[in-house]
Structures are given as structure tokens and as C-alpha cells.
Amino acid sequence: DGAIVPVQGDGAAGDADAAKQQEEREMGQPVRFGVTEPISLGLPTEAELALTAQLQEDMRRDAPLEVQENLRFRASVLLELQSVVLKWIYEASLQEGMDEETARSAGARIFTFGSYRLGLVAPGSDVDALCVAPRHVSREAFFADLVPKLREHPDVKDLTPVPDAYVPIIKMKLQGIEIDLLFARLMLTQVPEDLESLMDDNLLRNLDDKTVRSLN
């Protein structure tokens, strides 16, 4: 019971499939992957291209994207948020007993995701953001210490921390832009300024469940 029984002939069948696909390539025939047949291998018709163009026009009219000037404003708002977060990280590092230089180099990054990251920004839409902090800064400090700093900021309105949510979050308006801010603590002694991506699997080791959910 529970033993894995090898299925005879699997290797031969796989070799036959590979040989068939190679033959189809050499004959210029389209190669089919998977089990089911494709719905169609034909190119779009003129009528279908016209419908696509009409759909794009309707979307530009009914769901226009943000203009470049407002996109630049949103970027400046995120830089302001980054500045507030860096000041908080610096102070939190000093409280952990670090010297001045080490505390200043501890670092943090604000990453965006969702529609803003994809460049599909509609007027009035919010910005999904993630605060990435080094390992000595806790999620508890994110809510206990950063929230008061944000509350004191003259351009922050409608501040709503939700620490007990399945994915803990701080909701706010900064200079009129709605921001949903998540938190992730990486197992790094410092977050480098040139950290541009979280795609490195080594960054994602030994993380707590709430950080994993925030990164997802």
C-alpha cells in the first residue's frame, strides 16, 4: 500500500510524441501541445480586428487611463512615502541599539504592485504598495510606530490601520492619493537602495506567514 508502481510504456510513448512533434516541425505543420485541440489556428479576420479596435476605443472613452502629469504626481507621492518610511526605519534601528551609521544604512524600499505596477492607472484609483524592511524591524513596529508618524504627517488623511486583517494593511490618503500599504520583513540586515525586485528566491526564505501573504 502506498508504493509507487511504475507504468510500463510511459517512456516509449513520450519518445513517440517527441518524434511526432519533431516531424511536424520539419514539415512546417503547427505543433500541438497539451491534450485538447486549439479552438482555432487561423489569423484574426478583418471583422475581428475591427471589433478589437472598437473595444480599445470604447475602453479609452469609458475607462480612460491617468494622464502623464498625474502619473508623475503619484510617483512623487510614493517618494514622499518612501522618505517617511526611511526616517521610521532609521529611528527603529537606533532603538535596537545600532550606531548612527548602521542605522542609516538599514534601509527600506517601497514596491508597488497591482494596476499601478502594470501601468493601468485610472483617475482616482488607489495605489497598492509594499513596505520592505530589514529583519530587525517588526510588523508590530510597523503599526505601533509608523502609524503615529503617518498620523502626524500634514498630508495624510483617512488613516486606517488594520493590523488583524488576514493580510495586515495600512490604508490612507497621502496628498489625496489613496494608498494601501502592506509590510514585509526580509531576513536581511539591511535593504539595499538598489534592490529593484523581489524575484530572487533567496530573499523569500524563512519568512513569516503574514509576510508571505503580503508578498503574494
Domains held by the chain: number: 1
Residue 178 lies in a domain: yes
Contacts of 116-122 with C-beta under 8 Å, sequence gap 24+, read: 116/74, 119/65, 120/65, 121/65, 121/66, 121/71, 121/74, 122/63, 122/64, 122/65, 122/66
Max distance between CA atoms of the chain, in angstroms, equals 72
Residue 184 sits in a domain whose CATH number is: 3.30.460.10
Pairing, β 109-113 against β 127-133:
antiparallel
The predicted structure's pLDDT at residue 23: 65
Residue 157 lies in a domain: yes
Per-residue pLDDT of the chain (216 residues; tens, 9 = 90+): 433 333 334 445 555 666 665 665 566 666 666 678 878 878 899 999 999 999 989 988 887 888 889 999 999 999 999 999 999 999 999 999 999 999 999 999 999 998 888 888 888 889 999 999 999 999 999 999 999 999 999 999 999 999 999 999 999 999 999 999 999 999 999 999 888 888 888 888 888 889 988 987
Residue 203 lies in a domain: no
Residue 125 lies in a domain: yes
Residue 158 lies in a domain: yes
Residue 22 lies in a domain: no
Q: Which domain holds residue 172?
A: 68-190
Helix (H, G, I), strand (E, B) or coil at 111: strand
Residue 39 lies in a domain: no
Residue 46 lies in a domain: no
The predicted structure's pLDDT at residue 9: 41
Cα 25 from chain centroid? Answer: 38
The predicted structure's pLDDT at residue 10: 46
DSSP string, 136-193: TS-HHHIIIIIHHHHHH-TTEEEEEEETTSSS-EEEEEETTEEEEEEEEE-S-SS--T
Retrieve residue 131's grid coordinates.
513596505
| Single-letter code of the amino acid located at 185 | R
